[in-house]
Amino acid sequence: MRAHYLLAIALLTGALLVMSAGSGAAQSQAGGGSLPGDASGGAALIFHKPDNPPIHSGRGSSVRPAGGGRISGRAKSRATAAAQDRIIAKGNAARSAPNPRYSEAEQQYKLAAQQDPNEARAHAGLGNVYLDQGRYNEAAEAYSKALKVKAEYLPAYQPLAYSLASLKRYPEATETLKQALQYDPNNAEIYNNLGFAYVHSGRYVDAIAACRQAITLLGQTGQAYKQELQNRNEVLSNAYKNLGNAYNGLQQYNDAADALKQAAEIEPNNAAAHFNLGLALYNGGRYSEAIEAYKDVIRLRPELAGAHFNLGLTYIAINDKEGARHEYEILKPLNASMAAQLRGLIK
């Protein structure tokens, strides 16, 4: 399976705290205290690491006319194209080296773009170099240039959407993915990513429609699965997680739980799926089921402090002080701050 990027964010709205890396805000819960989300992730925008721009092999070959005459305009054009291919090939080789030579790759792609500003491959190659290094603003600018000169250049769409989402420019990411569907209308991965972007834009109804389309394309209606670049279960699980997050945004917690249960069944060893399920069940007041979901998380990731904290708070919600104290004792060596918060809530 090809390497791929994940932009993973646990997003469960309503009464829940969203806790991504570096976040410390909290909101009150019916059971007392605050319930954190999993900083390691939940639903995700996924796509594969962009391939290098293609080289049009053979396109640049030309033969000098017999008799030593001048090269025709067509032959000259082919020679120019061959030279452009060689520059892009050098950029590709530098990017794909065991120890990538990004400065060299950037220089080569820039040279190709200077020689032909309408060369979408050069702009996309430059975007790949920036994306690999987490330079998302520059990546977004490069991919946008590629699509400006060639709107049907499909390889630039998902990396552009990923770059925009990494910058939290979700409305722009949404529009980018909608444009991609014009050229690849049956791609479940794009629909999943569109659902993710809609959720983060607060467009929950649209997110539900996009996620359900992803699920349909992934074979839940008996259709053959044809997306050869995708890991089916990974995309399907994320589609259900995004669907659950969309229902949470609408405070339809039972529907959210149903979707997240599907995600957990598809990937039973995915702790984030069980964690998000616990959040949805807690939001819906289904505390006994939430306890079981958090126990599944702890079985998979016994040192995840957030899971012990949330389990302790869920025990408090059903007035099980002994269970909450047990989680407090486990939490003390894992996260002293969370342990102190939980201890203060046990009356």
| Contact (Cβ atoms closer than 8 angstroms) between residue 46 and residue 158 | no
pLDDT value at 98 more than 60: yes
Q: Where are the domains of the chain?
A: 54-167
Q: What is the pLDDT of residues 5-59, one digit of tens each?
A: 334 334 333 223 222 222 222 333 333 334 444 433 456 677 778 999 999 854 4
pTM of the model: 0.80
Name the residue with higher pLDDT: 161 or 10: 161
- Whether the per-residue pLDDT at 227 is higher than 50: the answer is no
- 8 A C-beta contact, residue 90 and residue 113: no
**pLDDT the model gives residue 247:** 94
The CATH class of the 54-167 domain is: mainly alpha
Mean pLDDT computed over every residue of the chain: 82
Q: What is the mean pLDDT of residues 135-154?
A: 97
CB 162 within 8 A of CB 125: no
d(CA 146, CA 153): 7
Taking alpha carbons only, the member of 176, 297, 187 closest to residue 235 is 187
Nearest to 10 by CA among 338, 222, 244: 244
Mean pLDDT on 189-217: 95
